[in-house]
Chains A and B, each alone.
Chain A
Amino acid sequence: MTTTESPADFLARARAQVLDQGVGLNQDDVLRVLQLDDEWVPEVLALAHDVRMQWCGPTVEVEGIVSLKTGGCPEDCHFCSQSGQFQSPVRAVWLDIPSLVEAAKETALTGATEFCIVAAVRGPDERLMEQIGKAVEAINAEVEINIACSLGMLTPEQARQLSDWGIHRYNHNLETARSYFTNVVTTHTWDERWETLRLVHAEGMEVCCGGIVGLGESLEQRAEFAAQLAELNPAEVPLNFLNPRPGTPFGDLPVMEGKDALRTIAAFRLALPKTILRFAGGRELTLGDLGAQQGMLGGINAVIVGNYLTTLGRPAAADIGMLLELNMPIKSLTKTL
């Protein structure tokens, strides 16, 4: 990149590199996207959409997520209402297996092909692993859906066990740039998270790793984060926008501006041209209905349908209707394990 390169020239270069060759932008160029003036946002979104269509295709992967164990987490992720360290209104509670199976059935009926079981823990203990084993067996007996998990940091034995049970994808977010992580979490390190991701990959599960933008990180750190994700090369990147939760240290942070969120979507798509880029939490607040459509036409090719872990999302029917309106077919089920 040269400092004299105009936005038009920069976007032409990005088009040649990412759209034509499938090579993601580097950190400096991602930063350039994040710094584009508002007038260039429609053009960069259109490029990101072209990249998504070229390298991922028109289908959209739909997923439901559910919390098996809510609240009471010993970690101090400053954005999270499930930490036991903050005065959050979220109480600790477990979901029973029949309710989990029912949730999986309802999720599948929306057209979703992914069902992610999440637990608010540092890492799974014996009881949680036992529950996961029972849940996977019960869901597989009644529902045609891919099962993913997000259970915190894993030991090698736990990663192997999950893989043996047929968990096809494991989510563990790096959350933010390595250089900003200690501002967000102090009870474990970015490198510990990276180690779990390495174990997940080594056991043959698909790696799902993203994070949250709008945590107070700089644009430089946001670009750094995109570059670090590109280095990891995950199958999926869930992109959350901070929804400031009462009682958490980040509860008073401002909601990200819609244009910034759209620039971030385009930037992450241009850094990760072949990755599943999923709309996750906070989009309702940051982007609203119109912004959600713009995001779908700006590089996103997956959505979380319905509610999140502790907060509510758009009605599932609204998202499915949006995909129909945009002529984006829902990805069909291909159980591989």
Chain B
Amino acid sequence: MSDLMQTFCTQCGEESAGLHADCAMQAVLSPPRYCGDCGRRMKVQVTPLHWVAVCSVHGEITG
């Protein structure tokens, strides 16, 4: 899943073809919180060197 193909903003969960400008600034210091495909709020686990975000429908993304 890439931001370019998203239909929901992964920071605020609203419909958007990618991140909103304000949300893009947030995204520098915040992992995705909403699924880019469906806008569902994801379960996100942050560890010192990684993060994992899980959508109950569209699966897992990592960083």
Residues of A within 8 A of B (CB): 64-67, 70, 89-91, 93, 95, 99, 102-103, 106-107, 110, 112, 243, 246, 284-285, 305-313, 316
A307-B44 contact given A89-B13, A312-B30, A312-B31, CB 8 Å threshold: no
Of chain A, the residue at the smallest CB distance from B54 is A93
B48 and A106 contacting across the interface, CB-CB below 8 Å:
yes
B12 proximity list for chain A (CB < 8 A): 89, 246
A311 proximity list for chain B (CB < 8 A): 29-30, 46
B41 and A243 contacting across the interface, CB-CB below 8 Å:
no
For chain B, residues 15 to 47, give those with C-beta under 8 angstroms from any C-beta of chain A: 26, 28-31, 33-34, 41-47
B47 and A99 contacting across the interface, CB-CB below 8 Å:
yes
- 24 sample A-B contacts, Cβ–Cβ < 8 Å, listed by A number: A64-B48, A65-B48, A67-B46, A90-B33, A90-B44, A91-B41, A91-B44, A99-B47, A103-B50, A106-B47, A107-B48, A110-B48, A112-B48, A246-B12, A285-B29, A306-B47, A306-B48, A306-B49, A307-B47, A307-B51, A309-B46, A310-B44, A312-B30, A312-B51
A284 and B29 contacting across the interface, CB-CB below 8 Å:
yes
B30 and A91 contacting across the interface, CB-CB below 8 Å:
no
B46 and A307 contacting across the interface, CB-CB below 8 Å:
yes
A103 and B48 contacting across the interface, CB-CB below 8 Å:
yes
Question: What is the predominant secondary structure among interface residues of chain A facing chain B?
Answer: loop
B26 and A66 contacting across the interface, CB-CB below 8 Å:
no
A70-B45 contact given A90-B33, A284-B29, CB 8 Å threshold: yes
Docked Cα-Cα span, A62 to B51, in Å, equals 20
B44 and A305 contacting across the interface, CB-CB below 8 Å:
no
Of chain B, the residue at the smallest CB distance from A96 is B45
Docked Cα-Cα span, A243 to B50, in Å, equals 20
B13 proximity list for chain A (CB < 8 A): 89
- Given A91-B42, A106-B49, 18 new contacts (CB under 8 A): A64-B48, A66-B47, A89-B12, A90-B44, A93-B44, A99-B45, A99-B47, A102-B47, A103-B50, A106-B50, A110-B49, A246-B12, A284-B29, A306-B49, A308-B46, A311-B46, A312-B29, A316-B48
CB of B5 to closest CB in A, whole Å: 21
Docked Cα-Cα span, A243 to B45, in Å, equals 19
CB of B21 to closest CB in A, whole Å: 15
Docked Cα-Cα span, A308 to B51, in Å, equals 10
A307 proximity list for chain B (CB < 8 A): 46-51
Which of B28, B31, B45, B49 sits near A93, CB closer than 8 Å?
Answer: B45
B34 proximity list for chain A (CB < 8 A): 89
A103 and B47 contacting across the interface, CB-CB below 8 Å:
yes
A99 proximity list for chain B (CB < 8 A): 45, 47
A316 and B49 contacting across the interface, CB-CB below 8 Å:
yes
Of chain A, the residue at the smallest CB distance from B34 is A89
B41 proximity list for chain A (CB < 8 A): 89, 91
CB of B38 to closest CB in A, whole Å: 15
B43 and A305 contacting across the interface, CB-CB below 8 Å:
no
Output the residue of A67, A110, A305, A307 with the most chain B CB within 10 A.
Answer: A307
CB of B28 to closest CB in A, whole Å: 8
CB of B42 to closest CB in A, whole Å: 7
